[in-house]
Amino acid sequence: MFGFFRRNKPAEPPAAAAQPAATEPASPPPGQPAGEAPASPAQTGSALAANEAPTAAAPAADDAPARDAGAMSFLTRWFRGPESAPAPAAPSAESGTPGEAPTADGVAAEPPELASPAAAEPAAAQSAQAQAAPWAEPEPPQLQPAPPQIAQPTAPLISPEPPTVQPQAPDSLEALPAEAAPLSEERKPWLARLRVGLSKTRDNLTGLFVGVKIDEALFEELETALLVSDAGVATTQALLDALREKVRRERLAAPAQVRDALQLLLVELLTPLERPIDIDRAEPLVMMIAGVNGAGKTTSIGKLARHLRREGKTVLLAAGDTFRAAAREQLAEWGSRNQVEVIAQQGGDPAAVAFDAVSAGRSRRTGVVIVDTAGRLPTQTHLMQELGKIHRVIAKAMPGAPHETLLVLDGNTGQNMLAQVQAFDEVAPLTGLVVTKLDGTAKGGALVALAHLRRERPVPVYFIGIGEGIDDLQAFSAREFAAALVG
């Protein structure tokens, strides 16, 4: 899955390539004379003796491609097969020169590219008699057209290279919007569901870039659409100023180009919120979940436990919500679905439940301990103080814990999520966010406002949810979210 967790696993060693090992010892210098190998095995040494079986099998595979070099010797690569055996015998009886006839037959049977210059130089170095005769009688009509045949293919191969490299530089800026959301096959269904979930927000934005001129009226309508999507005044003004500058600097004239430029600005703004959880940095990794009433904490815990189980982690849940009716039963049901244990108490202090769960996780060497807490409003001072107490008790049960303090936010609250982040961060320092219920909301711009207003100290968004399904809680991707908003 994309970006859920960061693991510290050792990389697997690359698989050994068996076929290249077989081809390296079987490829001789291309200048080996074509007629000497079948004429006298002593000239090839031990290499010819080792390749007798592949040479015998070569005539049966007359038209076998030279790419199957893992099972063929250098003889089968440079000779046709049936023509290689009788060629050296007949000319040796007539002319008495062993090297003359094989060279002529080799040139006639093979393509000129293989037999002309590469085979002539080694032949001249080994035998003066074999060098003079081919150049005197049969070779000149066949060797003279060979150099132009080699020079002609090389010129077209070199000439098209500049046109293929040069267009990439000017097209790089235009290719950025297309590269802004690279998706694997398994992420495409998720992006489709995310587009549907953010359709109310996206329709307000993308409808502006159809059949319009790039003028001040377009920017005014875009400002209204961003404000309606709960992006906020400060964030909207910053986006519009950056967009105007980008349009002026790059001289964008088409509405689609302006839309793509806005998408790139959103990606740049949201990228600091994209970060995975390192689930291997502690054992157990203690996660504390907080949020207001009805934000979806318990459901998010159940989905998060499923993802952790897929990663091979053992999970222990702590039912710290002792205030809400049937909260323990709901968490126990999620534990039964994911086959994880749940520690709960009838009533009692939620801090005591968290302490027992962390202690049990340490003794059992559990992978992850997730502590649920009761929903509370930021204005409820006594409940916020209780949340701070749970945070301190967990630190006593295990030094350095909780390693992750996640705040679950309802995507429909819009700008109110900024106040929630500020209030909960003061009581229990937050390490990440989970934004739920983004399906059907018209306030998707609130995440953009969160990224802009907390750019000095960003709180990463680990997960976003768009439904009740077990796979509807997915890792947050800045590029996917921006593409779903204005793509």
Task: For 240-279, write each residue's pLDDT tens digit.
Answer: 999 999 999 999 989 999 999 999 999 999 999 999 999 9
- Bridge partner residues of 315 (DSSP): 368
Quote the pLDDT of residue 6: 65
Task: Inform me whether the pLDDT recorded for 81 exceeds 80.
Answer: no
Task: Inform me whether the pLDDT recorded for 414 exceeds 60.
Answer: yes
Rg (CA), the chain: 36
3-state secondary structure 170-229: HHHHHHHHHHCCCCCCCCHHHHHHHHHHCHHHHHHHHHHHCCCCCCHHHHHHHHHHHHHC
How confident is the model over 119-152, as pLDDT tens digits? Answer: 444 444 444 444 444 444 444 444 444 444 444 4
Task: Inform me whether the pLDDT recorded for 380 exceeds 50.
Answer: yes
- Bridge partner residues of 473 (DSSP): 465
Q: Phi/psi at 374 (nearest 5 deg)?
A: -75, 150
Question: How many other C-beta atoms lie within 10 A of the C-beta of residue 274?
Answer: 20
Give the strand pairing for 461-465 and 473-475. Answer: antiparallel
Q: Are 432 and 462 in contact (CB under 8 A)?
A: yes
Quote the pLDDT of residue 52: 42
Contacts by residues 75-82 (CB-CB < 8 Å, ≥ 24 positions apart): 75/37, 75/38, 75/48, 75/51, 77/27, 78/32, 78/34, 78/110, 78/114, 79/34, 79/38, 79/106, 80/109, 80/110
How confident is the model over 161-180, as pLDDT tens digits? Answer: 433 333 333 333 233 333 44
Q: Taking all residues of the chain, what is their mean pLDDT, rounded to a whole number?
A: 73
CA–CA distance, 93 with 84 (Å, rounded to integer): 16
Q: Are 23 and 69 in contact (CB under 8 A)?
A: yes
**Closest C-alpha to 287, from 416, 463, 468, 451:** 463
| pTM of the predicted protein model | 0.64
Q: Are 76 and 37 in contact (CB under 8 A)?
A: no
Q: 16 or 341: whose pLDDT is higher?
A: 341
Task: Inform me whether the pLDDT recorded for 305 exceeds 70.
Answer: yes
CA–CA distance, 413 with 430 (Å, rounded to integer): 19
Average pLDDT over residues 224-231: 92
Question: How many other C-beta atoms lie within 10 A of the C-beta of residue 32?
Answer: 18
Q: Are 38 and 75 in contact (CB under 8 A)?
A: yes
Task: Inform me whether the pLDDT recorded for 216 exceeds 60.
Answer: yes
Average pLDDT over residues 334-360: 91
Hey, what are 15's tokens? 């698989």
Q: What is the dihedral of CA 358, 363, 369, 374, to 10 degrees?
A: -30
Q: Are 120 and 114 in contact (CB under 8 A)?
A: no
| pLDDT interval class at 184 (50, 70, 90) | low
Q: How many residues does the chain have?
A: 487
**Helix axes 233-250 and 446-453, enclosed angle (nearest 10):** 90
